[in-house]
Homo-oligomer: A and B are copies of this chain.
Amino acid sequence: MKALQLKPWHIVQSEADFENNRVYESIMSLGNCHMGVRGNFEESFSGDGLKGTYLAGVYYPDSTKVGWWKNGYPEYYARIINSPDFIGIDLNADGIDIDMNIQAPLSFERTLDMREGSLERNVVLEYKSGKRLQIRTFRFLSMHEKECGCVVCEATPLDDDAVITASPFLSSNVHNEDSNWGDSFWKDISCHTGMSDGYICSMTRKSGFGNCVAMACSAYLAGEEIRPCDFSSLSQEQDPGKVSIPVSGLCPKGSTLRVVKFFCSLTNRDHSFETLESSALDKVHALRARGFESIYGIHRDAWASLWERCDIEIKGDEKLQSAARYCIFNMLQTYTGHDSRLNIGPKGFTGEKYGGGTYWDTEAFCFPFYLMSFGRASKALLKYRHKQLDKARGNARKLGLGGALYPMVTIDGDECHNEWEITFEEIHRNAAMAHAIYLYEKHTGDFEYIEKYGIDVLVETARFWASRASWSSFRSKYVILGVTGPNEYENNVNNNWYTNYMACWNMEYAAATLAIMKKRDTHRYDLALARLGMENGEVQTWLKICSEMYFPFWQEQGVFEQQDGYRDKVLEDASAIPKGELPISRSWSWDRILRSCFIKQADVLQAFYMMPENFSQETIKRNFEFYEPKTVHESSLSALVHSIVASRVCDFKKALSLFEHSVTLDLENRNADTADGLHITSMSGAYLCICLGFAGIRFENGNLSMNPTVPQGWDGYSFNMMFNESPMNISVSKDSVVINWDSYDTVSIGIFESVHEILPGENVIHLNTLQAV
């Protein structure tokens, strides 16, 4: 976006651009894993925008909307809802309401501080001829006290004395733009306005979630604190669903009215419904008593410790440094594994789209980042799915199948998606559940988790595949008919190679894991067999299906065929599509997209990202060179996979350009949809493209290796990862790899052809120049 400056630790918006207000609102979102808020202005704004305040796990079972009902569609669509607003502070100067859409700013600067997790805005506007007002707002959502946050608002008349009124408010008068039927989701239970404090307690109409949002404010006029009793309190005439505590004062020219609004948003997910109001009020009083510096300091420390664990450095390219940090920043704002009831919505806390539900994005794209950054703590994500296993079993039953089918999108385990070609057919997602367990085990060695919990998911997903594959007498092979692969620009195809491959991988991995369990601990093995009602010959059936599975292969091209019939298409490179027709999702009718050869996101190539150890460099290269040029990357999840695979086949130029595509997707609004919210689940690419891609990190058979390169134009990069439960910082430059190993152990690492012994502390390994070709 042209108004943005990307600095190493800051995203700076240097001018107002209200035409693209929604895009900037998305970009300037704040979150703390418990709640989040879009970059809406504190004061009223009559221009276009999407108000958004979201509470993790607070959803609404919106009635399903379909054009034509298909048997099996879910009755409801769970969506994370726009929740009562806590950031609002209205401003008025000399009786004039401040609204930047009316009083266009003379200057405007907004800074997202990624290091500290705060958002600051500095504006000067002329609210009346010759009378300028300077406004500064500053806010954060505490990364430590996750129900809490603070907004500071300062207003300074620059040209004359002025009566300034600041009205901190709470509002439950919020709605979702994308609700299916325009229903209102919240109803108010109670509200309170006291001396400089207030709350609104509301409840969702159907799902029974309770929320209490509360505030307590301090105010200062020219440095002098204003007494609480000098705040006005709510009159009955005010808007329903709004609690407001205006504070006014005659502000001498050049001096400031400062309001500090401490707020919290509590839900009955963490508190009993009965104590919501009192807890919330106690909490904001305590916050105010402790004061801004204390609250902010603890918040800042929490961010510092996250960055210590998760920062990536890119040396020599400030823009990509900024963009990559921005991605990590948003991953951390969205989820850090503190609550296994939660998961990662595609938009995090930055928008309504996709309803905030959980997709395979989590396991396939986010999980590796959390696993490598947080180690065993990533288990929370596995537990989330394990808890939903019973509903996944029911889901498979509904389709007439065995085992368990995890939903395409869910919040509490129920399938919520309603497009038949996705809901019922994009079943490769099931293998991603098993794959996350596989990665977890490989990286942490925590086999106990597998024995107690993971094996249930492995067996039930394997069973699903065994029932879903069918025997083709014609081919004398097992086939998997009627699926949609990761490339959603193909629907209802037969023998999607990726799906068939991952199905077999899943069954084989489940079988192998059972075999290990049997050897390791007969008791736990027997418990599992009993728990799962395993029958004689079941595993043999899986293995038979795997050994007789049909995998489409295109002999002439020497590549895996994306699905049956792909070879019948007119084959063209995506570069042949006229620029004006991109993205094709917006200019081509759906049938045209489907019968074209163009690929939305990695499909065959996805397997090389998921299971690189199973394919030769040559195989990967051949398929990459065939499929990559046909890929339009119209899913945010595409570029990162392609970048990693490009690195694997040493096409570093392409890897870099795809990395750039991936990390700047939202900052440059590449898919023209950042207005809807950020593409959170693809932001792990910032980490994965570096770690798995440029650094070429691999774990195979318990061995760590790397094949590092430094992309053209970079001086180097560094990142952290957990290895053997200890943090390791790896810093790659053009002629060395420096590994800081915070452990008591030593470890071997293969770098290119040689194996190096890594000791605790700093290890410097000099290498030949690594400049990417």
- Residues of chain A having any CB pair with chain B under 8 Å: 64-68, 70-72, 398-400, 418-421, 424-425, 470-475, 479, 481-482, 491-495, 556, 564-565, 567-571, 585-595
Contacts and interface: CB of A to CB of B under 8 A. Distances in A.
The 6 closest A-B pairs by CB, nearest first: A72-B589, A424-B591, A482-B595, A70-B590, A481-B595, A474-B567
27 contacts: A65-B65, A65-B66, A65-B67, A66-B67, A67-B67, A67-B418, A67-B419, A70-B589, A70-B590, A71-B585, A71-B588, A71-B593, A72-B591, A399-B592, A400-B592, A421-B491, A424-B590, A425-B591, A470-B569, A470-B570, A471-B570, A472-B569, A474-B568, A482-B594, A494-B568, A495-B568, A564-B565
A588 B400 contact: yes
B470 A595 contact: yes
A184 to B, nearest CB: 16
A75 B588 CA distance: 16
A424 B593 CA distance: 11
A64 B64 CA distance: 15
Contacts of A420: 590-591
Which secondary structure dominates chain A's binding surface? Answer: loop
Contacts of A66: 65-67
Given A475-B568, A569-B470, A591 B67 contact: no
A71 B567 contact: no
Nearest to A68: B419
Contacts of A568: 472, 474-475, 479, 481, 494-495, 564
Given A470-B595, A494-B565, 8 more contacts: A66-B67, A71-B587, A398-B589, A400-B589, A421-B492, A472-B567, A474-B567, A482-B594
Nearest to A398: B589
A673 to B, nearest CB: 13
A343 B599 CA distance: 41
A482 B591 contact: yes
Nearest to A477: B568
Contacts of A595: 470, 481-482
A399 B589 contact: yes
A66 B594 CA distance: 19
Contacts of A472: 567-569
Contacts of A67: 64-67, 418-419
Contacts of A594: 482, 492
Most B C-beta atoms less than 10 A away, residue of A64, A66, A421, A475: A421
A589 B470 contact: no
Contacts of A492: 421, 491-493, 594
Nearest to A424: B591
Contacts of A473: 571
A71 B634 CA distance: 14
A142 to B, nearest CB: 37
Nearest to A594: B482
Contacts of A421: 421, 491-492
Nearest to A592: B400
Most B C-beta atoms less than 10 A away, residue of A64, A71, A494, A571: A71
A71 B593 CA distance: 10
A585 B68 CA distance: 13
Most B C-beta atoms less than 10 A away, residue of A420, A586, A587: A420
Contacts of A399: 589, 591-592
Most B C-beta atoms less than 10 A away, residue of A418, A473, A569, A585: A569
B586 A71 contact: yes
Contacts of A398: 589
A591 B567 CA distance: 24
Contacts of A475: 568
A298 to B, nearest CB: 43
Most B C-beta atoms less than 10 A away, residue of A400, A475, A589: A589
A556 B400 CA distance: 31
Contacts of A591: 72, 399, 420, 424-425, 482
Contacts of A587: 71
Nearest to A571: B473
A665 to B, nearest CB: 21
A71 B65 CA distance: 18
A599 to B, nearest CB: 15
Nearest to A556: B474
A565 B481 contact: yes
A543 to B, nearest CB: 21
A676 to B, nearest CB: 13
Nearest to A64: B67
A551 to B, nearest CB: 14
Given A399-B592, A594-B492, A569 B71 contact: no
Contacts of A419: 67-68
A481 B425 CA distance: 19
A589 B424 contact: yes
A595 B420 CA distance: 13
Nearest to A570: B470
A416 to B, nearest CB: 11
A465 to B, nearest CB: 14
A587 B397 CA distance: 12
A492 B422 CA distance: 14
A593 B595 CA distance: 22
Nearest to A77: B67
A594 B568 CA distance: 21
A587 B398 CA distance: 10
A569 B472 CA distance: 6
A306 B533 CA distance: 69
Contacts of A569: 470, 472, 481
Nearest to A66: B67
A424 B421 CA distance: 15
Given A65-B65, A473-B571, A492-B491, A71 B590 contact: yes
A425 to B, nearest CB: 5
A424 B420 CA distance: 16
A238 B419 CA distance: 46
A671 to B, nearest CB: 14
A66 B180 CA distance: 10
A703 to B, nearest CB: 41
Nearest to A490: B492
Most B C-beta atoms less than 10 A away, residue of A398, A470, A590, A593: A590
A590 B72 contact: yes
A346 to B, nearest CB: 14
A399 B593 CA distance: 10
Most B C-beta atoms less than 10 A away, residue of A66, A67, A399, A588: A67
A71 B589 contact: yes
Contacts of A71: 585-590, 593
Nearest to A554: B474
